[in-house]
Structure 1
């Protein structure tokens, strides 16, 4: 009876942790969409590497969302194959998350360079492309920034080349020709501004990731215990 009670407890714990995984999957999907929306500007950011991290977050969230199905059904029906599938897939997801974290740290400078290069390309085409102009203007208004690194970058690009003028989208209070008044503009560039925004969110992302990793390890352990109980033929209902 002690073993039976223990297995029943493990069964409910597996079911409970799968509910938490379902919540974690939803949280990752929401977090990835939020980051993607923050940096989404197809007129400016045409480099696919910029969208890589949030897309990976969304993909992992979707996978965890569906993996929880196997865990819930396997625990409820005491199905050895489904619980095994759940444990294996969860282990693979855990390894993928570790690999993604390592890759993100190793290639963090490449992402920064991608931001800088795409914004600079948009500034180069500002005077010749309506699409680039709209993209840069929207970016500067959204992030309250001016230029790539700072507002002086606009001296190198038409139609502001050789002058102290900047686009009106750099103004704190936008109005026609307000870019000629440098006392009313944002001086911080868009690259450092976006980086600062992402850094302020990194604590939330790290916390969510650590919490999910902890629950994944516990989920794998409990799933293995339940697999052992089912395989041994114990009655857990």
Structure 2
């Protein structure tokens, strides 16, 4: 029975590592999205779920390592002399509790921000209207970068450019070169060849990307909670089957 519990604990720890990677990468992706497109966000609060997710990922990796140590090491002598293994068991349990608090906070923040993604991207329209095509202008650089990175054109679609000051001043019925689909090397952004332009708008694609990450954080929290319960039960079973041994008086012959 004890061997089965140890195997279950080892598998649980590997799942904790996997969950840590998923949660950490999702938080990192959200942070990178904010860093690259921060001009399009109204405030910084959207990254709070990412910060909590990365923090929980770090603790997940640490707890997975401790859990593996607990499941592999089985020295009763070491346990009886210094109680290291018992301490590691307790540390593993405490870390799981910390993970639960961090994950619950990240999930709550992610859930609260899902309904605010559209309003968080309120500066989108103003930045597109301020576009002047200059590589020295921060707004213009941000627009070109997001259109190339997300493979999109305009706010909702390419027709949004027809209402901008830049489009009216040019008078040549074309959109920025960054709207061109990279598969068409002859595209110059002219509206008589709209099939060469990216069909979807940038705000829609960015909202979908942010929403996907926020949902991933919420779903991963539920998965981690299940793994945590299994880990807690496994450690509790190991501690019950082999309690910490007390100090014993050694005989002289034993020492010799």
Q: Shorter-chain TM-score: what band?
A: 0.7 to 0.9
Matches of 2:92 and 2:223, distance apart in 1: 19
Q: CA deviation at 1:161?
A: 4.5
Alpha-carbon spacing, 1:134–1:43, altered in 2? closer, same or farther (3 Å):
farther
Q: CA deviation at 1:195?
A: 2.8
Matches of 1:64 and 1:95, distance apart in 2: 12
CA RMSD of aligned residues (A): 3.4
CA deviation map 1:158-217 (0-9, x unaligned):
312586643221223466752444624334321112233455677766664443322111
Matches of 1:16 and 1:188, distance apart in 2: 43
Pair 1:191-2:191 in alignment = no
Q: Name 1:123's counterpart in structure 2.
A: 128
CA deviation map 1:66-114 (0-9, x unaligned):
1223323344256222211211221231233233223322221223322
Alpha-carbon spacing, 1:218–1:43, altered in 2? closer, same or farther (3 Å):
closer
TM-score, scaled to structure 1: 0.75
Unaligned runs of 5+ in 2: 80-84, 247-256
SS in 1 for 2:122: helix
Unaligned runs of 5+ in 1: 1-5
> Of 44, 49, 52, which aligns to 2:45?
49
Matches of 1:152 and 1:106, distance apart in 2: 32
* Number of aligned residues: 228
Q: Tell me if the contact between 1:155 and 1:161 (Cα under 8 Å) persists in the aligned partners.
A: yes
SS in 1 for 2:116: helix
From the CA coordinates, give the structure whose radius of gyration is larger.
Answer: 2
Matches of 2:186 and 2:122, distance apart in 1: 28
Pair 1:170-2:175 in alignment = no
Alpha-carbon spacing, 1:57–1:111, altered in 2? closer, same or farther (3 Å):
same
> Of 74, 83, 87, which aligns to 2:89?
83
Of stretches 170-179 and 144-153 in structure 1, the one that deviates more from structure 2 is 170-179
> Of 207, 217, 236, which aligns to 1:224?
236
Q: Name 1:3's counterpart in structure 2.
A: none
Pair 1:139-2:151 in alignment = no
Matches of 1:18 and 1:107, distance apart in 2: 30
Q: CA deviation at 1:230?
A: 4.1
Pair 1:63-2:63 in alignment = no
SS in 2 for 1:178: coil
SS in 1 for 2:115: helix
